[in-house]
Amino acid sequence: MTDLVVQRPEGLYCPPGDFYIDPWRPVDRAVITHAHADHARPGHGHYLAAAAGEGMLRARLGAIRLQALAYGERIVHHGVTVSLHPAGHVLGSAQVRLEHEGRVWVASGDYKVAADRTCAPFEPVRCDVFITESTFGLPIYRWRPDAELDAEINAWWAANAQAGRASVIACYSFGKAQRLLAGLDATIGPIVVHGAVEPLNAAYRAAGVHLPDTLAAPSLTDKAAIGRCLVLCPPSAAASPWLRRFGDCATAFASGWMQVRGQRRRGGWDRGFVVSDHADWPGLHAAIDATGASRVIVTHGSVPVMVRVLQERGLQAGAFQTEYGDDALDAPAAAEPSA
């Protein structure tokens, strides 16, 4: 019996349904798990995605032919029942459930099992085969609760503000920036966001996510206010002349990669905050266990390690070769993956 999802040069393909999931080459029909640039690309004839992510997809891809589906809503295409379920990764992120002739497959896209104020929580979906990411698929990656992270960031910002230094956090514009914003104490000082971040903030606010007020960099001219501000910007902006307007500032990078201290030193950051929109090592295994799947296919990240560990646990495990992002620290703002 043909697998419900196979590899093709264009991306992950569902043969009975004749559509792709997060394809990296232009195709006629694409099911999109979320709006990060490595999963949602321009040029497809027809897009299907979660309704919660519609605004974000349109903000990033412009005028596309998009069919929005509520979480849990089912449609049938060429005999394949398709539904989308929260992935907990970013606003509108979804897992794709496929059912055909009694078989159920789930493609996770990217996901996070920890609670997040800015998107719907991860929903385990029972299936026979689970296609999982493994971005942080090593035992060293274990995340702290958001409350601890928020307190750490706000204390760093407050100390810098008292010393009259702006605080700059480099982070990915979509997902990470909004998650950090939701935990900031706006009484410490003004919050400034880069021009790549604000349109995405608008999409979050339009979806009902509460974020504190933010300013564009040119609107902040008072020297004292600049010395108390916190700035969120893409990594590329933090390495450009754009940053000079904030004078002698303290810099930080927010990413799961900051779990490894050498990453902070190599980037020249004053501080590294360990925060990720992906599942950590325990989260990956908890998510896989919750599906009840006997077969697991790993798409990107620490693939060999995850496949070996799953096989040692008695699961049938393998891998798909994909072109999803590798979460490089210096990803350009226009095409940055998530971390």
Q: Do both 172 and 92 map to the same domain?
A: no
Each residue's pLDDT tens digit, 53-71: 999 999 999 999 999 999 9
Each residue's pLDDT tens digit, 231-265: 999 999 988 999 999 999 999 999 999 998 777 66
Number of domains into which the chain is organized: 2
For 47-51, 127-131, 257-261, which range has the lowest pLDDT when averaged over its residues? 257-261
Domain boundary among 252, 273, 294: 273
Q: Do both 13 and 130 map to the same domain?
A: yes
pLDDT of residue 336: 43
Each residue's pLDDT tens digit, 10-24: 999 999 999 999 999
Band (pLDDT 50/70/90 cuts) for residue 328 is very low
Domain boundary among 273, 299, 323: 273
CATH number at 31 reads 3.60.15.10
CATH number at 251 reads 3.40.50.10710
Query: 3-class secondary structure for the chain?
Result: CCCCCEEECCEEEECCCCEEECCCCCCCEEECCCCCCCCCCCCCCEEEEEHHHHHHHHHHHCCCCEEEECCCCEEEECCEEEEEEECCCCCCCEEEEEEECCEEEEECCCCCCCCCCCCCCCCCCCCCEEEEEECCCCCCCCCCCHHHHHHHHHHHHHHHHHCCCCEEEECCCCCHHHHHHHCCCCCCCCEEECCCCHHHHHHHHHCCCCCCCCEEHHHCCCHHHHHHCEEEECHHHHCCHHHHHHCCCEEEEECHHHHCHHHHHHHCCCEEECCCCCCCHHHHHHHHHHHCCCEEEEEEECHHHHHHHHHHCCCEEEECCCCCCCCCCCCCHHHCCCC
pLDDT of residue 1: 75
pLDDT of residue 329: 39
Q: Do both 153 and 241 map to the same domain?
A: yes
176 within domain boundaries: yes
Q: Do both 36 and 131 map to the same domain?
A: yes
State which residues form the domain around 128: 6-140+278-334
- For the cut 60, the answer to whether the pLDDT of residue 296 exceeds it is yes
Domain boundary among 221, 249, 273: 273
320 within domain boundaries: yes
pLDDT of residue 338: 54
Q: How far apart are CA 109 and CA 21, in angstroms?
A: 9
Q: Do both 103 and 179 map to the same domain?
A: no
Q: Do both 174 and 136 map to the same domain?
A: no
pLDDT of residue 331: 39
Each residue's pLDDT tens digit, 163-205: 999 999 999 999 999 999 999 999 999 999 999 999 999 999 9
- For the cut 70, the answer to whether the pLDDT of residue 299 exceeds it is yes
1 within domain boundaries: no
Average pLDDT, integer, range 90-108: 98
Q: What is the mean pLDDT of the chain?
A: 93
Q: Do both 258 and 153 map to the same domain?
A: yes
194 within domain boundaries: yes
Q: pLDDT exceeding 90 applies to what percent of the chain?
A: 91
Average pLDDT, integer, range 282-295: 98
Q: Do both 269 and 282 map to the same domain?
A: no
